[in-house]
Amino acid sequence: MDIVKSYSLKLFVFIFLCIIFLLILVDSTFYFLIKGIIGKISTIESMEVFFLEHKEVSDQILMLQDYFILYFLLISGTIFVISGLIFWLLLRFSIVKFISLMDTLSSSKQQGSLKDTSNDGKSQYDTHLFLYLLSVFQRDGRLLDFLFEDLSLYEDEQIGSAVRNIHEECRKVIDKNFVPKVVIDKAEGDQIVIEKGFDPGLIKLTGNVTGDPPFKGILRHKGWQVKKVELPTLSGVNPKVIAPAEVEIL
């Protein structure tokens, strides 16, 4: 990834500069420390009192100064470089893991957003279809007019006559859009046997349901399902309008 290469290069340069700074700081400190000790020894040697053991220490320190550039600089530089490379590799690995984690979270968030949008669209589409069917029931069968009518103002004979027409027209809407059929094509009240492997979504068991199928029972309701669904493509008309108001112009 380009972003990983970019951060790795910047991180490498930063660590390299820090290593150079620390190396110069440590080596210069050690070097001036040795120089100071040698200066003190030179002062002691200039005095009259100088013991043999002081001479041995002085010789060792002078030898340390001679080997400083040859050994100490090389060893310290190698240690700092190796430590810096290890530190850089660890940081680079951490950056790669962090970026991968962020990409994963971002992808999950985008997928969740797309899924939510899809669900919202599906929910909105289902609502439009429901309102469409309600509008068809109103247009062809005047269903809403009947449901919101005050039936207490009419006689039973008048209500029965109106219901017959509404029933016929609303059934036409159902037949046209859904083509319904019964789940169990037998007369209600007949004794039937529910075999093993039945679909619980199609057949609902009630009463004393114990053990495993087959079950013997009485058909209380035949159930309904659809053979096919034929719904129209929704237009751009406001779906909340079930039926527009009609005004006859004089």
Q: What is the DSSP string of 1-21?
A: -HHHHHHHHHHHHHHHHHHHH
**Structural domain range at position 31:** 2-116
Q: What is the pTM of this model?
A: 0.43
On whether residue 75 sits in a domain, the answer given is yes
Given a contact cutoff of 8 angstroms between Cβ atoms, the answer to whether 136 and 178 are in contact is no
Kindly state whether residues 13 and 109 are assigned to the same domain: yes
On whether residue 178 sits in a domain, the answer given is no
The candidate with the shortest Cα–Cα distance to 81, out of 6, 4, 22, 5, is: 22
Residue with tokens 């790669």: 96
Judged by average pLDDT, the poorest of 5-14, 155-164, 212-221 is: 5-14
Name the 3-class secondary structure at 191.
strand
On whether residue 95 sits in a domain, the answer given is yes
Whether 153 has a pLDDT exceeding 90, the answer reads no
User: Among 116, 146, 170, which residue terminates a domain?
Assistant: 116
The Cα–Cα gap between 146 and 163 comes to: 8
Predicted local distance difference test score (pLDDT) of residue 193: 93
On whether residue 107 sits in a domain, the answer given is yes
Kindly state whether residues 9 and 96 are assigned to the same domain: yes
- Radius of gyration of the chain from its Cα atoms, rounded to whole angstroms: 47
Domain count, the chain: 2
Kindly state whether residues 194 and 101 are assigned to the same domain: no
The Cα–Cα gap between 69 and 73 comes to: 5
Kindly state whether residues 108 and 188 are assigned to the same domain: no
Whether 156 has a pLDDT exceeding 50, the answer reads yes
Whether 38 has a pLDDT exceeding 80, the answer reads no
pLDDT digits (tens, 9 = 90+) for 60-116: 666 666 666 566 677 777 887 788 788 777 877 777 777 777 767 766 666 655 555
Kindly state whether residues 198 and 112 are assigned to the same domain: no
User: Among 67, 88, 116, which residue terminates a domain?
Assistant: 116
Predicted local distance difference test score (pLDDT) of residue 122: 54
Residue with tokens 């050994």: 71
Predicted local distance difference test score (pLDDT) of residue 51: 45
The candidate with the shortest Cα–Cα distance to 225, out of 182, 187, 184, 194, is: 182
Kindly state whether residues 188 and 112 are assigned to the same domain: no
Choose the most confident range, by mean pLDDT, from 23-27, 49-53, 113-117, 238-242.
Answer: 23-27
Judged by average pLDDT, the poorest of 115-129, 191-205, 236-250 is: 115-129
The Cα–Cα gap between 91 and 14 comes to: 12
**Helix residue ranges, H only, the chain:** 2-45, 52-66, 73-141, 143-147, 156-177
Kindly state whether residues 108 and 189 are assigned to the same domain: no
On whether residue 242 sits in a domain, the answer given is no
Judged by average pLDDT, the poorest of 44-53, 64-73, 151-160, 186-195 is: 44-53
The candidate with the shortest Cα–Cα distance to 173, out of 199, 121, 137, is: 137
User: Among 74, 91, 116, which residue terminates a domain?
Assistant: 116
